[in-house]
Amino acid sequence: MAYSEKVLDHYNNPRNVGTLDKGSKNVGTGLVGAPECGDVMRLQIEVEETTGLIKDAKFKTFGCGSAIASSSLATEWLKGKTVDEAIGIDNMDIVEELELPPVKIHCSVLAEDAIKAAINDYRVKQGLEPIVQEHSIVH
Amino acid sequence: MSGLKLPIYLDNSATTPTDPRVVEAMIPYFYEKMGNAASRNHPFGWVAEEAVDYAREQIAQLIGASSSKEIIFTSGATEADNLALKGVAEMYARRGNHIITVKTEHKAILDTCKQLEKQGCTVSYLEVGSDGLITPEQVREAMTDKTILVSVMMVNNELGVRQPIEEIAKVAHEGGALFMSDATQAVGKIPVDVEAMGIDLMAFTAHKMYGPKGVGALYVRRKRPRVKVTAQMDGGGHERGMRSGTLNVPGIVGFGKAAELARLEMDEESKRLRYLRDKLENELMQMEETYLNGHPEHRVPHISNISFKYVEGEGLMMGFNQEIAVSSGSACTSASLEPSYVLIALGLDDELAHSSLRFSLGRFTTEEQIDYAIEKVRNAVNRMRDLSPLWEMYKEGIDVSTVEWAEH
């Protein structure tokens, strides 16, 4: 199966690989997937307290090229958004941008889950209610 | 790297390139000598028949068959597996309906068995040990008075491990059953002798031994005992009534030539491949958290299956699949995300199964290619580990297997 140019680009030059201090109050961490399923994503956001803007985002992913590309793209999109804006990122936007084939849609779903998990972690740390996760497809 | 032609092919267990000497032998049979081997009344037919008979001899010699009549040509190993299992089940239905096989067999065996179960057969699927092997005792325990066939592959396609065929055949015969082996990955690679091994039926194919695709064979023993299989296709009654259909003469000529080359060159070739395989394996296994899958000794000299823990096979392969062609034990391209059932049968964690690559070397693999592959794969593993949250956790001393993963 051939990969799209965009998937190849993110795979070869992944953006924002790394680790933020998960103990920090301003950092939200989402760890989703499972090793036995063949993909695990860890996505982190660092939020500027005064503005509510996501000033940094990092990821690490165990998975196929599409999973790596989905999480890399997610970090790019997260940076500069407010937390509320970030909640609106939909997996289908990722599918479209990366031109993922149907068998790789689960990679985008996982990335969306990771974004929501990171936001929830941040919200809980801030004493807020976690938002209810809405899964777009069963996987 | 000067003059190294890319991509490098290290997936010879999937298929092998056709040896140029084989291609050369086949060419006349497409046009000048284009006859139908079943045409009995003109020279075109005689020439084709003679060529087929010669190929039959070449193949019989390679596998130690006592007569070339024991070779039944098919379209490949899948058809030969189907013909053997279904043909025996039908032919020997009055004697019993129980078949014994192994969980790590190729799908051509497993799915055929499933089909037979729907038709009233009972099938025992033996578990393998963590080394990928079964024991003759397991077969003995599974035998019943209804057992008509024991089918055990000689060499596993994913791991390269070789089952103790001789002992298993003996157990099958003691229990009054026939013994069948899918030897697709063995014939032409390691010495195979149907007489010495006690094999009654054996499936194999040309394209795994530098012959063309689309032609295979089923060995069917004719003496002690005389084995018969019920044909699974109706037609002109070719191949002693067991497999109808006009013979693929050029393919069969190529198959014969490939068999002859394998017989003459196997000793030298396997020494060379073992050296290259061991070099590749030893170099890659020097990396941390790498695991060899399958028994380290009881295996063919050209296959190596290695798990690189904390990286996912498909993602890893993407790091070099423009330059090196290998297989991954992870079937992430199927939406099921299921890792290889063979690796799972060894008792491997799903995670390690997802992290495996199969390297299979062949006649045209060079040391320069192996050196290049070592470097490329090593770099890709390191790069993927830098990207892997699991590797980071491992490095921090967290036992990844104790983490509670969210439902996915």
pLDDT in tens, A13-56: 999 999 999 999 999 999 999 888 889 999 999 999 889 999 99
Which of A135 and B30 is assigned the larger pLDDT? B30
Q: Which of A45, A36, A40, A38 lies closest to A18, judged by CA?
A: A45
| DSSP state at residue A15 | S
pLDDT tier at A137, thresholds 50, 70, 90: very low
Predicted confidence band of residue B337 (pLDDT cuts 50, 70, 90)? low
| Interface probe, candidates A11, A12, A36, A43, chain B, greatest B C-beta count within 10 A | A36
Neighbours of B111 (CB within 10 A): 14
Could you read off the pLDDT of B369-383 as tens digits, one per residue? 999 999 999 999 999
* Rounded Cα–Cα distance for residues B339 and A85 (Å): 37
- Sign, Cα dihedral of A80, A82, A87, A93: negative
Q: How much is the average pLDDT of B315-343?
A: 79
Tell me the two tokens of residue B70: 């024991």
- By C-alpha distance, the chain B residue nearest A67 is B315
Q: What is the mean pLDDT of chain A?
A: 91
Taking CA atoms, A65 is separated from A10, B258, B309, in Å, by 8, 39, 17
B351 vs B305, more confident: B305
Structure confidence at residue A14 (pLDDT): 96
If you measure CA to CA, which chain B residue comes closest to A18? B387
A17 to B311: CB separation less than 8 angstroms, yes or no: no
Is the Cβ of A30 closer than 8 Å to some Cβ of chain B? Answer: no
Using the predicted structure, report yes or no on whether residue B255 has a pLDDT greater than 80: yes
For B316, which residue in chain A has the nearest alpha carbon? A64
Contacts of B335 in chain A (CB under 8 A): 102-103, 106
Summarised one tens digit per residue, pLDDT across range A90-110 is 999 999 999 999 889 999 999
Tell me which chain B residue has its CA closest to the CA of residue A30.
B406
Helix (H) or strand (E) holding B83: helix B77-91
Question: Residue B107's pLDDT band (boundaries 50, 70, 90)?
Answer: very high
Interface of B with A in 175-234 (CB under 8 A): none
**Residue A107 is among the residues annotated as catalytic for this protein:** yes
Residues from chain B contacting residue A34 (CB–CB below 8 Å): 405-406, 408
pLDDT score recorded for residue B338: 74
Q: From the CA of B334, how many Å to the nearest CA of chain A? A: 7
Lowest mean pLDDT among B276-290, B295-309, B388-402: B388-402
B93 touches chain A (CB under 8 A): no
Are A37 and B387 a contacting pair at CB < 8 A?
A: no
Q: Which helix (H) or strand (E) holds B371?
A: helix B367-387
H helices of B209-248, in order, are none
pLDDT at A91: 95
Question: Distance from B346 to chain A by nearest Cα, in Å?
Answer: 15
A128: left (phi over 0), alpha (psi -120 to 50) or beta: beta
Q: Is the pLDDT of residue B333 over 60?
A: no
Nearest chain B residue to A135 by CA distance is B408
Distance separating alpha carbons of residues B150 and B197, to the nearest angstrom = 14
State the pLDDT at residue B25: 98
The whole-angstrom separation of Cα B54 and Cα B74 is 16
Helix (H, G, I), strand (E, B) or coil at B308: strand
Residue B46 confidence (pLDDT)? 97
Query: Average pLDDT, stretch B291-306?
Result: 97
Q: Which residues of B touch A63 (CB under 8 A)?
A: 312, 315, 332
Report residue B335's pLDDT band, with 50, 70 and 90 as the boundaries. very low
DSSP B152-183: --SB-TTT-BB--HHHHHHHHHHTT-EEEEE-
Q: Is the dihedral of CA A92, A95, A101, A105 positive or negative?
A: negative
Residue B330's pLDDT is 61
Query: Chain A contact for B239, CB < 8 A?
Result: no
Report yes or no: B311 at the A interface, CB cutoff 8 Å: yes
Q: Which among B314, B339, B408 has the least Cβ separation from residue A34?
A: B408
Task: State the amino acid at position B80 in one-letter form.
Answer: A
Give the pLDDT band of residue B400 (cuts 50, 70, 90). Answer: confident
- With CB atoms and an 8 Å threshold, state whether A61 touches B387: yes
Q: Say what the pLDDT of residue A110 is.
A: 95
**pLDDT for B32-50, tens place per residue?**
999 999 999 999 999 999 9
Q: How far apart are CA B262 and CA B379, in angstroms?
A: 35
pLDDT of amino acid B135: 98
The three-state (H, E, C) secondary structure of B111-146, written as one string: HHHHHHHHCCCEEEEECCCCCCCCCHHHHHHHCCCC
Please give the share of chain B, as a percent, with pLDDT higher than 70: 97
- Residue B314 at interface with chain A, using a CB cutoff of 8 Å: yes
pLDDT of residue A37: 81
The DSSP bridge partners found for residue B123 are B99
Q: Which residues of B touch A39 (CB under 8 A)?
A: 312, 332, 337
Nearest chain A residue to B310, by CA: A62
To the nearest whole Å, the CA of A32 is away from the closest chain B CA by 6
Asked if the model's pLDDT at residue B336 lies above 70, the reply is no
Instruction: Please tell me the predicted confidence (pLDDT) of residue A131.
Output: 83
B191-195 average pLDDT score:
98
Identify any residues that bridge with A61 across adjacent strands, giving them in sequence order. A41
Q: In chain B, what residues touch A11 (CB-CB under 8 Å)?
A: 315, 318-319
Handedness of CA B100, B103, B105, B111 (dihedral sign): positive
Least Cα separation, residue B348 to chain A (angstroms): 11
Would an 8 Å CB–CB cutoff place B329 in contact with chain A? no
Q: What pLDDT score does A136 carry?
A: 47
Please indicate whether, in this complex, the C-beta atoms of B318 and A17 are within 8 angstroms of each other: no
The answer to whether the bond into A101 is cis (omega within 30° of 0) is no
Q: Pick the catalytic residue from A57, A73, A95, A107.
A: A107
pLDDT of residue B2: 60
Chain A to chain B, count of Cβ pairs less than 8 Å apart? Answer: 92
Query: For residue A106, which residues of chain B lie inside 8 Å, CB to CB?
Result: 335, 337
Q: CB of B37 within 8 A of CB of B236?
A: no
Distance, C-alpha A113 to centroid of its chain = 7
Per-residue pLDDT for B351 more than 60?
yes
ipTM of the complex: 0.92
Q: What is the pLDDT of residue A38?
A: 85
Tell me what pLDDT residue B144 has: 98
Q: In this model, does residue B220 exceed pLDDT 60? A: yes
Q: Are B202 and B218 in contact (CB under 8 A)?
A: yes
